[in-house]
Amino acid sequence: MTIIAVHSPKGGSGSTLIAARLAMSFTSRGRPVTVVDYTRQDTLKLHFGMVPSQTIQPWRGAEADAPVVGGVRLVKGYGSHMAPEQLIQDFSGGDKSQLFILDISSSDLEVRREVSQFADLNLCVLEPTPAALTSLTLLDEGQSVRELQNFAVVLNRVDEQYKLSRHCRRFLAELLGEQYFGIVRRDEAVNEALAQFEVLEKFAPHSVVLRDVTALTNMIEAYLKGEPVVGSEGVDAPARRAV
Amino acid sequence: MPILPCRNAALSVLMVPKSLTITMVMDMRNDARALLEKLSRQDFRYKQFEDPYTDMELWPVFEALLKDERITGNGGNNVEAKRLPEPRRAAVERRPAPSKPAGSFLGQYSAPQASAANEPGRPQGDAVDLRNFLGKLGQAKS
């Protein structure tokens, strides 16, 4: 099995969007995917077209508590009182093709640290803002960001109309090198889809977010296979862009 | 507003309906023109964002982060000394921390300054010259 932890040292950076979109992207490629929601706000379900009144109970061992939506199994890890590693083992069932994507709250340092010890990839989601960039200093892993292993950054909600957004992107690419996994551009269609209780593919099938997440998925797949992650401009590199 | 993807990382294009005011109209890139022709859409204005590396803004926040040891480490010399604990799950094979490309602009900098979260008394590096750094970056990329 493969474990991807999605988190951000700063809240509101869109890690839930990235976790949900990656789950659907990998599912579309035939990979069995389970998303474990370790956030309190319970908004992951909205990205799968669920409505607020539909609740996912914290995982306590009943299959009914883990609905499968769009081919993705949704598990509420927050409040389950089960250690993340044990929860994953329970669900994997020995299936090595299983992919687990964990959406971890920015404030839940305990879970983040625990998961980072065994995750195959710790994907940090940042926005192109000074506050988000500065939050990188708060990862507090006992070593610098550039020295972290199995760690990558994706820049979310990039809007290239704005100078600072473009410069943040370039700065991170140069700063992080292979740890920089590129961008997911801002698209209001994401919010509009949530407001309609629809999945993005249906609401805005040409959304740039879908394209960028496809490219991000390609990068992650290459990374997990141990293939070299070439270049530093993430999804903008022609070889990685799925068109 | 649809934003066209581009193959050049330093270049982006934006197309918006003509009804919206765009302050700068430039010669259209061939790939953008080809896409519009393919889509049979001629009702767009075109704007191209291009920031030469040499025109990178000297944002103080970038400089502060470059000087922060929590970001850049001790000049990359303490990678071996500070490995994360071994994973508890044997199947996980940790990839090594990525090496930075030779000639990376960060290599042009002196050691980052210690932060409050780092050891006190660690020797302080020289101040980072962000303009110099960006200038070298521009030379490398242009």
Rounded mean pLDDT of A187-215? 96
Residues B57 and B106 in one domain: yes
* Chain A interface mutation, best of B35, B74, B82, B141, highest count of A Cβ atoms under 10 Å: B82
Residues B57 and B126 in one domain: yes
In a domain, B16, yes or no: yes
More confident residue, B3 or A202: A202
Total domains in the fold of chain B: 2
More confident residue, A33 or B124: A33
Residues B16 and B57 in one domain: no
Residues B37 and B70 in one domain: no
pTM: 0.74
Residues B26 and B58 in one domain: no
Q: How far is B14 from chain A (nearest CA, A)?
A: 8
Q: What is the dihedral of CA A22, A28, A29, A31, to 10 degrees?
A: 70
Residue A134: the pLDDT is: 95
Residues B19 and B69 in one domain: no
Q: Which residues of B are less than 8 Å from A139 in CB distance?
A: 70
Summarize pLDDT for B101-130 with one digit per residue, the tens.
444 444 444 444 544 444 444 444 444 566
**What confidence tier does B134 reach under pLDDT thresholds 50, 70, 90?**
low
Contact between residue B82 and residue A142 where contact means Cβ atoms under 8 Å apart: yes
Query: Is domain A2-240 given the CATH code 3.40.50.300 in the classification?
Result: yes
Rounded mean pLDDT of A96-103? 92
Q: Is B11 on the interface with A (CB under 8 A)?
A: no
Q: Is B136 on the interface with A (CB under 8 A)?
A: no
Residues B63 and B110 in one domain: yes
In a domain, B116, yes or no: yes
Give the residue from A56, A51, A14, A55 showing the smallest Cα distance to A34: A56
In a domain, B90, yes or no: no
Residue B141 domain boundaries: 53-75+102-142
Residues B26 and B63 in one domain: no
User: Which of 28-57 (B) contact A at CB < 8 A?
Assistant: 49, 51, 53, 56-57
**CA-CA distance, A146 to B93, in Å (whole number)?**
19
Q: Is B94 on the interface with A (CB under 8 A)?
A: yes
Residue A139: the pLDDT is: 85
> Average per-residue pLDDT in chain B?
58
Residue B17: the pLDDT is: 59
Residues B119 and B58 in one domain: yes
Residue B14: the pLDDT is: 60
In a domain, B94, yes or no: no
Domain ranges in chain A? 2-240
Using CB atoms, which residue from B70, B76, B98 is nearest to A178?
A: B98
Summarize pLDDT for A103-129 with one digit per residue, the tens.
999 988 889 999 998 999 999 999 999
